[in-house]
Structure 1
Amino acid sequence: MKLPAHTRYAHSAIIHRAPYSWPNGANLALLVVNNIEHFAFRAGMGSDNTGLSPVQNQRPYAWRDYGNRVGLWNLLDMLDELAIPAGHNCNSAVLDHCPEIAPALLARGDEIIGHGRTNAERQDIMWEEDERRLILESRDVLARHNGGKQPRGWLGPYIAQSAVTLDLLKEAGFTYVMDWPVDDQPIWMNTRDGGRILSVPYSVELNDSPAMVARHHTGREFAQMIIDQFDEMLVQSEKRPLVMSVVLHPFILGQPHRLRPLRQALRHILAHRDRLWITRPGELTDYIAGMPEGVIP
């Protein structure tokens, strides 16, 4: 039986790969990636913290907007306190709507990553030309807020891609994506121009949105998930290098009652800081790009 398939990457079992390590001899890399989003009012798509069938009225809009007005600043204060670098998946619309956000991210030395125009829309249902326009518009707006430096990475709204997204991103100058939760190591993915783009591990499991909005886990349950993931991956990384990502949204984890257990979980991780490479997705991509051909599948 022949199933529908793709040609983006070949099968590769993690136990058969070439050995390597992260900078300073670390075996486990930690990525803290935050999503900063803007939504249409009473229209389009958007999460709702009260159920799986979102309504689009003032209540869920205001809950999500809390993230940009309050929650983000709670999270940034915590990241400063713990001296943790971060990457930020940014809707281009949010940087125009909230002009204080980009300067705050740049002041931390953090990375601004492409995340579409708005999370009120998704790109996987668009015609190719419309999707190309979305990618280019988002790229150019983020570059304007980033001193002319265009983003190198991409996460689609709702972690969604069309059949040609990887090709359009490569053609627009992007070098990595985080939409394929396929591995605990980075892998190269093929594009139609004969080139490639890197897939950086980005968790849909250790991600506050599906955990708390879809599965209704509590903040303490999510914090325990972080601790359990870290403790197990730290042991596994003694055999091979791994990437652990923690995925945040300011309107979810920026709520004070969830922030406290999150801080405790991150402090648990930082007790092992000398064994980790705490980095950002773009820096990880640069490190991988410098490796000999054939090390990364």
Structure 2
Amino acid sequence: VKGTCFISGLAAEKEPVILKELSQRGHEIAAHSYDQSAQLFMMTRDQEREAIQKSVTALEKASGQRPVGWISPGTRPTENTLELLLEEGFVWHGDFFDSDFPYKIPVKDKVLVEVPYKVPGHTDYDIFGIYGAMKTPTDAFQFLKDEFDAVYAESKRHPMRMAYCVHPYVSGTPGRAAALEKFIRYAKRHPKVWFARCIDIANCVLGK
């Protein structure tokens, strides 16, 4: 299974070997700004442009892969973000929570694909207590299985999408990682399930 990895420029500079390995294994390297502690809404337009450019430079240098996807720190873009991303050649963006499905966003004379962050499944924060009561790895597997089963059943009527975002400091323990692996094995047993990177979804929307 190949996925999309959201990585900051600072992380890329600190751990270039990891980024190179991820890229070589076929994972998509997506930009997560340069410094996670610097929120875009606190920046001027020029400062935001610089943050985007610095993240692109750092990720490309470390991984050999120029990022074409973006999620802002805290999924908090500004009124300038989409236009600035298109200036730097980005194809997709994932900050919005307004749809389960990807869609095109017209920006002046160009188009950016939105691959929404908030979809069925969502993140390990929801399961392991960052925002609420902590669950066990067994609970995590059951949550993902139930969500997948519902989405899979709905997909018999029209295409559906499920995403699950994990963080190394949340899901990186042996038990939690094992629960994720168990879920992936479960999902792979079902026919007509596409494990897609965000860029694959964006290209599909664009007809590529």
Aligned to 1:153: 69
Distance between the aligned counterparts of 1:201 and 1:287, measured in 2? Answer: 15
For 2:164 and 2:82, locate their aligned partners in 1 and report how far apart those are by CA, in whole Å: 23
Alpha-carbon shift at residue 190 of structure 1 (Å): 2.5
Q: Aligned equivalents of 1:228 and 1:152: distance in 2?
A: 32
Other-structure match for 2:42 = 125
Structure 1 vs Structure 2 CA RMSD: 1.7
Give 1:129 shift.
Answer: 1.3
| Corresponding pairs, count | 205
Q: Name the residue aligned to 1:91.
A: 8
Q: Which amino acid aligns with 2:75?
A: I
CA drift of 1:111 comes to 0.7
Contact 1:90 1:113 survives alignment (8 Å): yes
Q: Render the CA deviation track for 1:109-137: whole Å, top value 9, x for unaligned.
A: 11100111122222122221111110111
The runs of at least 4 aligned residues of structure 1 exceeding 6 Å deviation read none
Q: Matched residue of 2:96: which SS?
A: coil
Counterpart amino acid of residue 157 in structure 2: K
TM-score, length-scaled by structure 1: 0.65
Structure 2 contact 40–77 (Cα < 8 Å) conserved: yes
The AA in structure 2 aligned to 1:202 is Y
Q: Which has the larger radius of gyration?
A: 1
What SS does the aligned partner of 2:40 have?
Answer: coil
Distance in 2, Cα, partners of 1:224 & 1:131: 40
Identity value in percent: 25
- Equivalent residue letter for 2:92: Y
2:78 maps to 1:162: yes
Equivalent position to 2:158, from 226, 230, 240: 240
What secondary structure does 1:196 align onto?
strand
Structure 2 residue identity aligned to 1:85: K
Q: Alignment partner for residue 115 of structure 2, among 200, 204, 223?
A: 200
CA distance in structure 1 between the aligned counterparts of 2:133 and 2:9, rounded to whole angstroms? 29
Are 1:139 and 1:151, in contact at CA under 8 Å, matched by a contact in 2?
yes
Aligned equivalent of 1:231, options 149, 157, 166: 149
Is 1:279 aligned with 2:196? yes
* SS of residue in 2 equivalent to 1:174: coil
1:156-204 deviations in Å (ceiling 9; x for gaps): 111111122111111111110111122121111122x332210113237
Q: In the superposition, relative to structure 1, how do residues 124 and 287 fare at CA in structure 2: closer, same or farther (>3 Å)?
A: same
State which drifts further: 241-250 or 114-123.
114-123
In the aligned structure 2, how far is the partner of 1:229 from the partner of 1:126? 38
Q: State yes or no: 1:102 paired with 2:19.
A: yes
Structure 2: state its 5+ residue gaps. none
